[in-house]
């Protein structure tokens, strides 16, 4: 992937060298990192969103505010990983600005926060074990770059375009927030509706974000011609590696569709392809799809 061709975004916040204090929830009630790790593991095994569990434990309302991270050594200036993230985010901005403008809307760029170990967002405190995530409360993407190493070593999904897919998927959630999709899913949860399961709203929301990542990839390739042989396969391999069925099989030896939150490996591949084939947002309506 010739990512050097892309414009660098100014919306990356590098908080990897931030000050301490990210180990406590709001309201003065603390939870140790060990306790957070246990909650994360339990959430993954149960097929539930660890951020939701952590937010419930903290009793923390969504709020805006600064990012708080665990203390880490400051990163070197102009390090390649940060440059890569800025390049990918910059191209998602260019893509979605043009798409929104064509539809008579204005795209609002999200911030992307790089952190190490743990971070406090408007959605609560998150340990790096949660993986990359998007918080609609502050409209920011959060990424611990160690996830890319895990993607390669644990999930056998190496490659720069695999990493770009991960970023584009989280930006897809931001697009959903701007379009009102995230609010509708949240409202359904607040009404007490079950949103988990292989046909549930959470799966449909995640698969739509995969499709939107494909839409971005289509337009980025047309604009920059930056994909090299094997790049597309890298993205599809990453989508396959983090399907609910594959992760559950690895974690506990069996698959429980009732607890799905992201979709199967095959579904994640299929919806990314649906977006990448023509670059049309209209092909990403997973909420009306009879077959996921």
Instruction: Provide the pLDDT for residue 252.
Output: 85
pLDDT at 28: 33
The per-residue pLDDT for range 65-99, each reduced to its tens digit, is 344 444 444 444 568 999 999 999 999 999 999 99
Model confidence at 18, in pLDDT bands (50, 70, 90)?
A: low
Give the rounded percent of residues in the chain with a pLDDT score beyond 90: 69
Determine how many CB atoms are found less than 10 A away from the CB of residue 217.
Answer: 26
Statement: residue 277 has pLDDT above 90: yes
Across 262-279, b (16+ Cβ under 10 Å) vs e yields bbbbebbbbbbbbbbeeb
Per-residue pLDDT band at 52 (split at 50, 70, 90): low
Mean pLDDT of all residues in the chain?
Answer: 83
Q: Is the pLDDT of residue 125 over 70?
A: yes
> CA end-to-end span of the chain, whole Å?
29
Look at residue 64 and tell me whether its pLDDT is greater than 80. Answer: no
pLDDT given at position 26? 29
Q: Is the pLDDT of residue 250 over 70?
A: yes
The pLDDT assigned to 180 comes to: 96
Predicted confidence (pLDDT) per residue in 133-187, tens digit: 999 999 999 999 999 999 999 888 999 999 999 999 999 999 999 999 999 999 9
Q: Are 195 and 188 in contact (CB under 8 A)?
A: yes
pLDDT at 57 over 90: no
Beta strand spans in 54-210 (E): 68-69, 111-114, 118-121, 124-127, 133-135, 140-143
- Residue 137, number of CB atoms within 10 A of its CB: 17
């Amino acid at each position: 992937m010739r990512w050097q061709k892309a414009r660098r975004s100014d919306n990356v916040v590098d908080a990897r060298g931030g000050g301490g204090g990210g180990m406590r929830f709001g309201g003065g009630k603390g939870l140790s990192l060990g306790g957070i790790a246990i909650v994360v593991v339990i959430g993954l095994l149960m097929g539930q969103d660890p951020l939701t569990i952590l937010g419930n434990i903290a009793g923390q309302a969504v709020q805006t505010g600064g990012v708080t991270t665990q203390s880490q050594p400051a990163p070197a200036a102009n390090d390649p990983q940060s440059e890569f993230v800025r390049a990918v985010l910059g191209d998602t901005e260019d893509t979605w600005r043009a798409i929104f403008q064509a539809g008579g809307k204005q795209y609002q760029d999200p911030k992307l926060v790089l952190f190490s170990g743990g971070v406090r967002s408007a959605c609560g405190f998150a340990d790096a074990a949660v993986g990359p995530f998007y918080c609609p409360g502050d409209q920011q993407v959060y990424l611990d770059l160690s996830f890319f190493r895990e993607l390669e070593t644990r999930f056998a999904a190496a490659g720069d375009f695999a990493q770009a897919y991960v970023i584009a998927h989280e930006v897809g959630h931001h697009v959903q927030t701007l379009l009102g999709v995230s609010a509708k899913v949240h409202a359904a949860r607040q009404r007490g509706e079950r949103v988990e399961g292989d046909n549930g709203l959470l799966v449909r929301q995640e698969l739509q974000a995969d499709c939107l990542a494909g839409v971005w990839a289509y337009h980025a390739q047309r604009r920059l011609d930056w994909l090299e042989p094997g790049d597309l396969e890298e993205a599809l391999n990453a989508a396959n590696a983090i399907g609910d069925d594959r992760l559950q099989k690895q974690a506990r030896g069996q698959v429980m569709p009732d607890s799905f939150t992201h979709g199967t490996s095959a579904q994640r591949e299929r919806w990314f392809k649906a977006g990448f084939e023509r670059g049309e947002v209209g092909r990403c309506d997973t909420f009306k799809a009879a077959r996921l």
